[in-house]
Amino acid sequence: MSIDSNAKATDTLLETLCNYHSKIDDEETRHMVIAALSKVIEDLEEPFDLLMRLANSANMTPLIKVGYQLGVFKALSNSPTPLTLGQLCEPTKADARLVNRVLRYLSANRFINEVDKGQFSASKMTHCLADARLEGGVNIYYGVIDPMLHELPAFLERRNYQDGVGNPCVFNAAANTDLTFYDWLKTKPEMVQDFQKMLSLQLMAISTSVRAVDWLSVIPFPKAVDPSDGPVFVDVGGNMGDRCLELLGRYPQFKGHVIVQDLEEVVKFAPAMDGAEFQGYDFFTPQPVQGARYYYLRTILHNWDDDRSVEILRNLVPALGPNSQVLIDEMAVPNTKAHIWPSVQDLLMMMTFGARERTLDDWAVLLGRAGLKIVDIKPYAPVMRTSIIFAERS
C-alpha cells in the first residue's frame, strides 16, 4: 500500500473513531474503549516511543501549571475567536519567546489549538482546564502529589520495600513535616481551597457518570417508620451531614430518625438540618447509639491502616441490634484486573496517609477481624468501583 493510501486509510479510521464516542451511552463502555485505544498505541510504540511518552507524562503537570500562571486556558476558553501570541503575553508581560515555547508544548498535547503561526484557540481540553475545580486539582498534584512521587522510590528503599502503610508515610518525607496531611493542609489556606475544589470535581464525576447508580438507590430503606422506632441512619464521621441531607430529601419520612456523628469541634460548626440530629462522637470510642438500622461510614476506613480500621469497626459491633447493618461506602477494588483509576487512588492513599484502597479480599479479612461478615456489595460507580458494602455481626 502506498504512503498516500496509508494516510487516507488512517484518516478514515480516525474519523470513524472520533464519531464513535457519540454512540457510547454508558461509563463502563467508554472506559473500555479508552483502554482498547491505549493498547493500540502501546502496540504501535517502539522502545524510544515509550521513553518519550513517559518523559512527556512527567512534563504535563508542571507545564499545565505554567499555563495557569500565564492565564492561557481561561483567556482562550473565554474568547470566541483565536488569540495572538502577543495577546496571551500581555496580562503577565511574559517574554514572547518563552510563552511561545510553552504554547507549542500545550498545543502538541492538544491542551490548546494552534490555528496558525502565532494564533491559538481553545480545544475541548482547554475548556476543561479553564474549570476552577480542575485547576485546584492540578495545583494539588503539582504541590503535593508530584513531590511524593519523586520521594517514593527512595522512601521504599529505606523501608526495605515493606508495604507502605502506617506513619510516617511518604508525605511526611516529601513535605519534610511531622504533621499528618490534614494538619499540614490547615497551615496552607490556598491549598485547602484547591483541595476542596478537587474533591468537588471528583464528586461531580461520580454523580454524573452515565451509568453511576445513585448511592441511595442501592440501599433497601424501609418504606415507613413508626415514631417509636429508633434511628434509621447514623452517619459515622459524617462531617457537615451532606449525605443525610440527600437522604432526607429523598425520604422525608425519616425525619427524627437520622443522626450525623463527628468530632465535637466539627459538629459545632454544622448548619442546623431539619430532621437530623448532630452528635459529637469520636469513632475510636464505643458507639453510643444502640440498635440503629444502618451505621454508615463513607470514605472513613481508607484513611486508616488495618489495625485502626478494625478498632473503628469493633466500636460499632456492640451497638448492633438484630436488624442492624454496617454500610461501608468505599471502593471495593477487584482482586484482579483492576482499572487504573482505583489503582492510582490506592497508591495515593499509601503515600499520603499510609493507608490503602481495599480489594474484595481485603474487605472480607478486615471485617472478619472486627467480628463482622459481608452480606452484600453493591457498586454504584462502575469504573472507580465505589460501592456500598453491607456487613452484619458474624
Question: Cα–Cα distance between 366 and 361 in angstroms, integer?
Answer: 9
Burial pattern 295-323, b for ≥16 Cβ within 10 A else e, equals bbbbebbbbbbbeebbebbebbbebbeee
d(CA 235, CA 370): 19
Beta bridge partners of 92: none
d(CA 43, CA 21): 22
Mention every residue, 6+ apart, whose C-beta is less than 8 A from residue 199.
none
Q: How far apart are the first and last CA of the chain?
A: 67
The DSSP string of 48-86 is HHHHHHHHHHHHHHHHHHHHHHHTHHHHHHH-SS-EEHH
105 sits in which H/E element: helix 96-108
Distance between CA atoms of residues 259 and 154, nearest Å: 45
Q: Which residue has the cell 461531580?
A: 204
Which three cell numbers, joined as nine digits, stand for 143? 504541590
Contact 294, 234 (CB under 8 A): yes
Dig out the grid coordinates for 258 from the structure: 437520622
Cα gap 125→73, rounded to integer Å:
9
Catalytic positions, written as ranges: 302
Q: Are 192 and 267 in contact (CB under 8 A)?
A: no
Distance, in Å, from the CA atom of 50 to the CA atom of 41, rounded to the nearest integer, reads 10
Q: Would you say the C-alpha torsion 169, 174, 176, 179 has a positive or negative sign? A: negative
Taking alpha carbons only, the member of 7, 102, 92, 88 closest to residue 60 is: 102
Q: Residues 6 or more apart from 293 whose CB is under 8 A from it?
A: 222, 230, 231, 232, 233, 323, 324, 325
Cell numbers placing 182: 490534614
